Structure 1
Amino acid sequence: MVFKVPRNLPSHLNIKFIKKYLESKDLARARQLFDKISEPDLQSWTVLISAYTKNGQPKEAIQLYAEIKNSRRAIPDKLAILAVAKACATAGDLLTAKEIHFDAMKYKLSSDLVLGNALVDMYGKCKYFEGAENVFSDLSIKDVISWTSLCSCYVNCKLPREALRAFREMGLSGTMPNAMTLSTVLPACSDLKCLNLGKVIHGFGIKNGMEDNVFVNSALVNMYASCSCIKDAELVFSYAPQLDAVSWNVIISAYFSNGECGKALDKFQEMRSRGFKINNVSWNSVISGCIDNGKTQEALELLGEMQQLGWKPNQVTITSVLTASSHLEGWRGGKEIHAYIVRHHLTEDLIASTALVLMYAKAGNLELSHRVFNMMPLKDTVAWNTIIIASSMHGRGEEAVSLFTKMVDSGVKPNSVTFTGVLSGCSHSQMVDEGLSIFHSMSKDHKIEPDAEHYSSMVDVLGRAGRLTEAYNFIKQMPIEPSASAWGALLGACRIHKNIDVGRIAANRLFEIEPENPGNYVLFFNILVTAKLWEEASETRKLMRDRGIRKVPGCSWVRVKNRVHTFVVADKNNDQSVDIYKFLDEIRKKMKLAGLVPATEFVLQDLDGEEKEESLCNHSEKLAVAFGILNLKGESSVKVFKNLRICGDCHNTIKFIAKNVGVQIIVRDSLRFHHFRDGLCSCGELW
């Protein structure tokens, strides 16, 4: 709508026309008229600042406030500071927020209740609880909004205990909480799993007539679900007199968080059928819920439906789907999401790009992972951690250490996860001196105290390099109680280096710490079998049986023609089983002609020589590789995934196959990736 504005109007009439433009949501014309005013008064500035914030342009609002101060024609008053405080809250601009607080104190306005409440809220939205506490303490009078804003600030700053403390102090001060207060503090109960306090707040809400409030009900559903009381969450939801999209999203997420995918999906369809507005939050809730519960295919189908209905995936959607695509089943979908990110100019999004780095690394393509990382204009600690862990995962220890050095040199601060990633790379590449240096630098140079995981990583670094006595002494000298991971790393090293004595010590300790873990028994059993200590090996197996512990069955899978084919040991259920075993038999004959003898020490039964060789041919990873080779269809590589560690004979055989067939074979086992090419493996025999 266009209004005819006379020239040379006094300020109060200019404001009238500016407000008319703003009422018709024509912010551009309102700004044009404002710019024509030779000496705008403070009210004009304030009206326009508020308008920019309401229209989702807080940065422009903040810039306008800066122009007031720079013009020196007007001194900001309470309304102007109030307007820009809301802009800072919306933008999360902490730097300007501190300047606004300073201006409020400078002009002696900080003790004003309305402005003080706005400043507390502003600091809360900027996640700076110290500032909120300072403003709050300066208020001579505190009302329900003051207390609620402080509680909200603590929740936003991930300080739930402080939020509940402030809530109790509010009650002691005699201030009556309102519905907004309850909906603010209930998430703190959710975070801390404080079911009893949550029930008390629920009772208070009912007693004071707040049970009809949609925000309180949504917070109650979330609180009960977080405390694993899904039945109570259902009751609150079903008896709520008012429901909105938030309420539905909360109950859907509640079902997913409790592993009830079917009910969550049914609720999502019911929400749609009853005409409630589905938004991006709804789609993201159901897609990420499916992914978190292992329903990758359902998540990708929902993503397709979301786009067909005209909804555009946002940052949250993309990150969730990329998490799903880091599994083999979603590899093609991951590439499609990458293409979507490029098409929609989202390549500068830090979270999405970091998820891409991880997705490509987990799918076996470290080169693409590095390419995405190198193209990122900004890299935070999480991004650096991801590429370091990716390199370690693929056995490139020197690369992981080099990346760590570049990270520190670039000014990005490493955290606990960084050191876990780089130490893992050192262990897989037998970089003992580098590992020790990095470990000692944690507390000395970076003020990070090593935790149980870091100590376990150092045991692994020493153990894999064959320094078993040093690794054992390291465990004994740890300032904290050695974890199962530390003893497990030592036992694994004893398996590699065939050390029975230290292995026996580690195994017995593990049998005490985690008696239900079958991997420890199997690993020690392997050590004994390799040493031909059949009687002691039988005792270990009997101990497993007596404790009712069963070995996790080996399983390998490979993707062919957009379908995942799964294999177990001695599997003959595949349509091409005859061809698979024929191929492996021919490979075994060629290996013998080349003087390569099957590594029969990896057979765990006391069989004769020929039976041992036959047993080795049945391993799931060999079957999956053979199937992948038989169905190459012009491709130059085969990717196989296994749930357990690859055995030594399979490792040797796959190296031979890669050279004999002339293809690259990538195998990801439970510990790392192995890239086989030209008769060599990327692990350098150090896996």
Structure 2
Amino acid sequence: MTKQLLPLIEKIPQSILGFLEYSPSCWSSSLSKTTQAHARILKSGAQNDGYISAKLIASYSNYSCFDDANLVLQSIPDPTVYSFSSLIYALTKAKLFSKSLGVFSRMFSYGLIPDSHVLPNLFKVCAELSAFEAGKQIHCISCVSGLDMDAFVQGSLFHMYMRCGRMEDARKVFDRMFEKDVVTCSALLNGYARKGCLEEVVRILSEMEESGIEPNIVSWNGILSGFNRSGYNKEAVIMFQKMHHLGCFPDEVTVSSVLPSVGDLEKLDLGRQIHGYVAKQGLLKDKCVISAMIDMYGKSGDASGIVKLFEEFEVMETGVCNAYITGLSRNGLVDKALEMFELFKEKKMDLNVVSWTSIISGCAQNGKDIEALELFREMQVAGVKPNRVTIPSMLPACGNIAALVHGRSAHGFAVRINLLEDVHVGSALIDMYAKCGRINMSQIVFDMMPTKNLVCWNSLMSGYSMHGKAKEVMSIFESLVRTRLKPDFISFTSLLSACSQVGLTDEGWRYFGMMSEEYGIKPRLEHYSCMVNLLGRAGKLQEAYDLIKEMPSEPDSCVWGALLNSCRLENNVDLAEIAAEKLFVLEPENPGTYVLLSNIYAAKGMWTEVDRVRNKMESLGMKKNPGCSWIQVKNTVYTVLAGDKSHPQIDQIKEKMDEISKEMRKSGYRPNLDLVMQDVEEQEKEQILWGHSEKLAVVFGLLNTPDGTPLQVIKNLRICGDCHSVIKFISGYEGREIFVRDTNRCQISSNHVFTESHSIILHKFQPNSLSLSALIDSFQGLWSGLI
């Protein structure tokens, strides 16, 4: 305290002097005393003293009165570092990081250099804001002032670079540190693990050993969680085994960190060993450990392990139940998952958004599409708000059964809660619209996405490929190549599939070669399947068979299935028998192979062989999968089976069919009886054709929707040529847009071809002029149909 200030201090009452003690804690006894002290200081004229003003700033800041503290700071004619540091520290403590950085900027404008007490706060601020550039500048200031060698400054600088993901800079600071401890080393280990740098992790562990620093359980947990969370599963398992070898005993955090990687690698034996260790150490009561164990068994395909572990757990906890539902669904036990989910609801468990999303996703991935949509509706009723994971989980169900209304409603919901910027939501919408026959809407969604990753591009390419638009797929691929994104094996699958559907043999071979030669992508089985399909459709069956024989890996059922299907198109019995024999071994329980071979024999009039194949099917207890179609009327999805005579409206459907049949015969139509692979009379063959599920579904839609309403139908099996012709006629006769697709691709549309229907829809939704507000308006009221 200066001599010049003493006369002023003497004028301040003793009660205030007592309050103005040296410890900052004395300043925080009450806000009212702070304001009183401030008033006395102003009255006495002592406010220009830096020490007293700094005390006032600190006291106001303790009560979060930052505006008052700032006014005091502004009133000081010659502020010191100590004056600014009080406010910087308080703002940082209150997590007002941007304001803290602003105060430092003002401090620096006065020519004041931060000291070793201010710098750690500033580096913490930069770490929280991920403000790497600002942190680097402050680092330079610390170097100029010679404070970069201070232990506290080095520690905070190191953690700042770590938080900003600048591993090289963090390592340079680490190497210069005089005092390295296990905390700093553990942080560096975790950082390198998150980057997947196994060699660096091993090197640092070796350096720690040389320095006499022993890694503790926190160090190892940081390594394992870093590798696991970044998808470096193999590295996580290697380090877990190294940890065990060095005699460090895992705890519950260790187990929970490594088990996801064990599951992803499907190392069931290792998982069981960890299970034994967990049981021995008494960790099976930990909910995180149980959840991770169930997840591991689920990923490793051990369904019995999932059930046994869950039944042994004494407490029903939400996280454990969520893992159980996911594990069951992942292993095809979706009926069991649904049963357990209903049980959880009955027990009034606190089911969260993860619970609902897990069961919805499980249903959508296991053919329970209608159940997925119903659960999505129940989720809204239960008051659980969907998130950016729920929407992409339920949209595939909409696409699988062409539930366009539900899909558009979900789109509207995503718009309202600002999820369209999420690439996963956008990709799922692109896929859903494509499967529902609205490829133009897929394009609109794609064009409106602010950022696009490779998944988005692949979804769009797959959509156009599904619609048989090879030129568009190739054009999108060229646009993708012009970006910084690199095509992957999925990109080329869409390309080859599109080429195969329209018979572009030369282009298919070009892309097949480009995949490995230009992009270093080794052809997978799905690529060979596409090429076999492409050659088969072009009538080059022998060339397709030669390609299979030259494959570097053993052909799977998809490859042989593509050849068998091509044999059906060309009625090639010899190669069909070869392909079928392979499929009988690869998929002994698949009735589709027997049906397809039987149809090839029937097309050749080889009825003895047909009977032999069908008798073998019966002896094995197999049945042909019945044709099934879905159609959405209003907000309900209806299922129609082939030859269904028990349908409530079967009489009206038959009457309408007779009307359509008569009109078609007037125009010269005759049913294609060659498509009926049964040795029966022609009249019965015609009845079989008219009983196809897609025809029944279309007529059901005509009867139950207003004139002019578009119809959307999806079938579980391939659509035959006769249905193609009949539904095309119905579209013109009734003046309706009719979209019909099977499980692979869209087959037909209204007004004879896809192009015409697209022009109609694009007239309503022009991609170049569509605004976000217009899109939101177009979805108004749709979401209410789901809740």
Whether these two folds match at TM > 0.5 is: yes
For the pair 1:374 / 2:443, whether they are aligned, the reply is no
In structure 1, distance between residues paired with 2:253 and 2:482: 47
Deviation of residue 472 (structure 1)?
2.2
For the pair 1:118 / 2:118, whether they are aligned, the reply is no
Q: Which digits, 9 at most, give the CA deviation of each residue in 1:553-579, with x for residues without a partner?
A: 111121112222222222233333222
Q: Name the CA shift for 1:136/1:285 in 2 (closer, same or farther; >3 Å).
A: farther
Q: Which digits, 9 at most, give the CA deviation of each residue in 1:395-419, with x for residues without a partner?
A: 1122222222222232321111121
Alignment partner for residue 497 of structure 2, among 421, 424, 431? 424
Q: Which digits, 9 at most, give the CA deviation of each residue in 1:572-601, with x for residues without a partner?
A: 333332222122222222222222221001
Q: Secondary structure at the match of 1:448?
A: coil
Say if 1:299 and 1:321, in contact at 8 Å, map to a contact too.
no
Q: Which digits, 9 at most, give the CA deviation of each residue in 1:491-541, with x for residues without a partner?
A: 211222233333333333333433322111111211221222222222222
Deviation of residue 268 (structure 1)?
6.0
- Give the equivalent residue in structure 2 for 1:67: 137
In structure 1, distance between residues paired with 2:432 and 2:523: 28
Q: 5+ unaligned residues in a row in structure 1: which ranges?
A: none
Letter of the 1:391 counterpart: Y
Q: Name the CA shift for 1:288/1:451 in 2 (closer, same or farther; >3 Å).
A: closer
In structure 2, distance between residues paired with 1:83 and 1:336: 49
Q: Name the CA shift for 1:47/1:666 in 2 (closer, same or farther; >3 Å).
A: same
In structure 2, distance between residues paired with 1:522 and 1:282: 40
Higher relative contact order (CA 8 A, sep 6+): 2
Say if 1:360 and 1:368, in contact at 8 Å, map to a contact too.
yes
- Give the equivalent residue in structure 1 for 2:168: 98
Q: How does 1:353-392 map to 2 (within 5 A)?
A: 353-392=426-465
For the pair 1:267 / 2:344, whether they are aligned, the reply is yes
- Give the equivalent residue in structure 1 for 2:121: 47
Q: How does 1:136-147 map to 2 (within 5 A)?
A: 136-139=205-208, 140=210, 141-144=213-216, 145-147=218-220
Say if 1:217 and 1:236, in contact at 8 Å, map to a contact too.
no
Say if 1:109 and 1:115, in contact at 8 Å, map to a contact too.
no
For the pair 1:546 / 2:619, whether they are aligned, the reply is yes
Stretch moving more, 130-139 or 371-380: 130-139
- Give the equivalent residue in structure 2 for 1:328: 401
In structure 1, distance between residues paired with 2:282 and 2:84: 46
Deviation of residue 279 (structure 1)?
5.8
Q: Secondary structure at the match of 1:378?
A: coil
Q: Name the CA shift for 1:336/1:41 in 2 (closer, same or farther; >3 Å).
A: farther
In structure 2, distance between residues paired with 1:281 and 1:81: 42
Q: Secondary structure at the match of 2:130?
A: helix
Say if 2:284 and 2:290, in contact at 8 Å, map to a contact too.
yes
Q: Which digits, 9 at most, give the CA deviation of each residue in 1:200-220, with x for residues without a partner?
A: 445545655656655444434
Say if 1:85 and 1:100, in contact at 8 Å, map to a contact too.
yes
Q: Name the CA shift for 1:216/1:17 in 2 (closer, same or farther; >3 Å).
A: farther
- Give the equivalent residue in structure 2 for 1:2: 65
Stretch moving more, 224-233 or 664-673: 224-233
Q: Name the CA shift for 1:131/1:466 in 2 (closer, same or farther; >3 Å).
A: same
In structure 1, distance between residues paired with 2:152 and 2:620: 73
Letter of the 1:432 counterpart: T
Stretch moving more, 172-181 or 384-393: 172-181
- Give the equivalent residue in structure 1 for 2:664: 591
| Identity in percent | 34
Q: How many residues align?
A: 665
Letter of the 1:100 counterpart: A
In structure 2, distance between residues paired with 1:397 and 1:445: 21
In structure 2, distance between residues paired with 1:78 and 1:279: 46
Letter of the 1:568 counterpart: L
Say if 2:294 and 2:310, in contact at 8 Å, map to a contact too.
yes
- Give the equivalent residue in structure 2 for 1:515: 588
Say if 1:395 and 1:682, in contact at 8 Å, map to a contact too.
no
In structure 2, distance between residues paired with 1:655 and 1:76: 81
Q: Name the CA shift for 1:219/1:464 in 2 (closer, same or farther; >3 Å).
A: same
Deviation of residue 68 (structure 1)?
1.0
Say if 1:255 and 1:264, in contact at 8 Å, map to a contact too.
no
RMSD of Structure 2 on Structure 1 (CA): 3.2
Say if 1:120 and 1:146, in contact at 8 Å, map to a contact too.
yes
- Give the equivalent residue in structure 1 for 2:49: none
Stretch moving more, 173-182 or 11-20: 11-20
Alignment partner for residue 645 of structure 1, among 703, 706, 718? 718
Q: How does 1:157-172 map to 2 (within 5 A)?
A: 157-172=230-245
Say if 1:391 and 1:397, in contact at 8 Å, map to a contact too.
yes
TM-score calculated relative to the size of structure 2: 0.77
Say if 1:522 and 1:551, in contact at 8 Å, map to a contact too.
yes
Letter of the 1:262 counterpart: E
In structure 2, distance between residues paired with 1:122 and 1:513: 45
Letter of the 1:59 counterpart: S
- Give the equivalent residue in structure 1 for 2:30: none
Q: 5+ unaligned residues in a row in structure 2: which ranges?
A: 1-63, 757-787
Higher Rg of the two aligned structures: 2
TM-score calculated relative to the size of structure 1: 0.87
